[in-house]
Amino acid sequence: MSNVTDATTGAGEPMPGDNGTRTAKTENGPVMAADGRPLKQTLRRTLRREKMRALLLIAPLLIFVVVTFIVPILSMLFRSVENDIVQNTMPETVQALRAWDEQGTEPPGDEVFVPLYFDLFKASEAKEHTKLGSRLNYEQPGLSSMFRGTGRDLDDMGEEFQDVFEEIDPAFETAAFWHELLSGAGGEALLKERRDLYEALTGEEMRGDVGFTPSTEMAEMLPWTTKAYTDFAIWTAIEEEDVVAEEEPWEAVYAALGQDLRSPDTVAAIEAYSGPWSTTLKAAAENRDQLPQDSFREMFVASDKDWGSLEAWRTISLYSPPVTAGYFLNSVDLTKTVDGIAARPETQQIYLTLFQRTLIMSLIITGSCILLGYPVAWLLANLPLRTANVLMILVLLPFWTSLLVRTSAWKVLLQQQGIINEILVWLGFVDDANRLILMNNATGTVIAMTHILLPFMILPLYSVMKTVPPSYLRAAKSLGATNWTAFWRVYFPQSVPGIGAGSILVFILSIGYYITPEIVGGTSGVFISNRIAYHISSSLNWGLAAALGSILLIVVLALYWCYDRIVGIDNVKLGG
């Protein structure tokens, strides 16, 4: 904490005979400290130690603030572009969709619908498909019910295959058949891959023994079946904690076998196959024309006709990458289309209006704060200190009073049966039938917030005005200036930093206000922050909330930077 002590006492023991050598060396060498080292080095070391000590004192708080505040803010920024839910929920569909031409005129065919079926089946077992539906619903209303509805039909689609298989050979009904048929060696890589996909889907760790390893031979011969059964095995063993070999598989596994049998290569491979259960498989291959012949696309469209719509698929395709600018576009009333970025339909454009309203109302509030605060600050700065301190209490009391108290006060005053209206009606200035509407609109927000933020204008103005010597005004007047000229040309320019500081402070505070507009603002007096809160707690569109928040944050940081340039962060003062 002090340079002198460190330099003299902190640098070790003095050496004997030190005095003689020092005088000798100073004449032709570097200047030495008391311990015989070069003074420069000692000083540098002291400085370094001082820096370290300062940093050590700051470190705990810095770490605390970074962890509890900065990281959350960064996580919000990350949320505003994050979009891995589509990729995580339907990984194979997304991959298949890449080959599809979204500019074209046809929705994708079975090359997409087959992986879609298995992805969705898996997701619906894990109850994740509705989340995806809600996510895509933000971009195109109606998609949520499409996912939810089809999620219920997935079992039935598989059962159509299952019934036929079980008719062909009752062995298909047994758990042992599937387990023995598909078990084998060499499938560890496939197992791990499916496990990873599950982890991405559920966000949980899927560790533990599955009790099943797919065989590579089967993975080549019956690719869909092996994948579907592996998924089933992982889910059964780890989430449901059952023994895989004893459980009858999902309907999806039957559907997968049906899908495999549609490929002539697979049929040929089964003909040549001679391992366990080959007769059962061959029977199934021979009777494959009894299986449902509808394509998966037809089944999906039968479940919900929107699956056949080009628009739905374009939306899915546009929002399939893991990172999206969609939320940001959404927050400025734009939307992504296959032809690039376009404006939203007129009826859905609300955010630009809201941003604009937030800015305009914040400006009005800042303006009225300057208007009301300037005279008061001037008075406080020019009164004798004792009187000023007493009057200052009138400014500080609202500042210290709970925000909710002040907001409730304004609710009591402004409502239609409120005090202001009652007085006006009693005095006969306002007709009882046409009471003034002061609340639940922009007026209410502006009045209440001006009151709430006024101390934040007065305090910085006061501290700046306090530094302007009163003799300047007197000098100007004695040089012949009128009162107005003296004020406008001499005093006002010197108080501008105060206005700047106060305005930026009030503006920053008002632009992110939530509580007061929520209570007195109704619908036409609310800010962008109310919309953010709505998306967090009611509509649950968190990505959009994060994007709106990020935009607001950028505006505020820009203003903060200006504030720093004008007044400096160190000069923020509280309580006069």
- Give the footprint of other proteins on residues 44-83 (CB under 8 A): 47, 50-51, 53-58, 60-62, 64-66, 68-76, 79
Cα maximum dimension of the chain:
116
Residue among 356 and 482 whose Cβ is closer to other proteins: 482
Select from 23, 279, 408, 467 the one that contacts other proteins (CB under 8 A).
408
Select from 142, 422, 494, 566 the one that contacts other proteins (CB under 8 A).
422
Smallest gap from Cβ 404 to other proteins, in A, equals 4
Residue among 27 and 429 whose Cβ is closer to other proteins: 429
The interface region with other proteins, picked from 206-214, 227-235, 337-345, 547-555 by CB under 8 A, is 547-555
Residue among 280 and 529 whose Cβ is closer to other proteins: 529
The tally of CA atoms less than 13 A away on the side-chain side of residue 292 is 20
Smallest gap from Cβ 566 to other proteins, in A, equals 14
Residue 180: C-alpha distances to residues 248, 426, 463 (Å): 12, 91, 84
Q: How many residues bind other proteins (CB under 8 A)?
A: 104
Residue among 210 and 520 whose Cβ is closer to other proteins: 520
Residue among 16 and 60 whose Cβ is closer to other proteins: 60
Structure tokens belonging to residue 466: 């306090």
Residue among 491 and 560 whose Cβ is closer to other proteins: 560
User: Distance between the two ends of the chain, CA-based, in angstroms?
Assistant: 29
Residues 454 to 493: which contact other proteins by CB under 8 A? 454-455, 483
Q: Output the 3-class SS for 67-123.
A: HHHHHHHHHHHHHCCECHHHHHHCHHHHHHHCCCCCCCCCCCCHHHHHHHHHHHHHH
Residues 377 to 406: which contact other proteins by CB under 8 A? 379, 384-386, 389, 391, 393-398, 400-406
Residues 131 to 150: which contact other proteins by CB under 8 A? none
User: What is the spatial distance between Cα 512 and Cα 528, in angstroms, rounded to a whole number?
Assistant: 8
Smallest gap from Cβ 78 to other proteins, in A, equals 8
The tally of CA atoms less than 13 A away on the side-chain side of residue 64 is 5
**Per-residue contact flags (x/-) with other proteins for residues 427 to 456, judged by CB under 8 A:** xxx---------------------x--xx-
Smallest gap from Cβ 526 to other proteins, in A, equals 12
Which residues fall within 8 angstroms of residue 244, CB to CB, at 6 or more apart? 179, 210, 211, 212, 232, 233, 236, 237
Contact flag: residue 560 with other proteins (CB under 8 A) = yes
State the Cα angle at 138 between 133 and 143, rounded to 5°.
40
Residue among 426 and 488 whose Cβ is closer to other proteins: 426
Select from 308, 367, 497, 512 the one that contacts other proteins (CB under 8 A).
512
Residue 172 C-alpha from the chain's centroid = 48
Contact flag: residue 553 with other proteins (CB under 8 A) = yes
Task: Give rounded-to-5 percent helix, strand, coil for the chain.
Answer: 75, 5, 25
Residue among 232 and 410 whose Cβ is closer to other proteins: 410
Residue 545 near residue 466 (C-beta atoms within 8 A): no
Select from 508, 521, 525, 541 the one that contacts other proteins (CB under 8 A).
508
At 337 the three-state DSSP class reads strand
Nearest alpha carbon to residue 250 among 224, 268, 276: 224
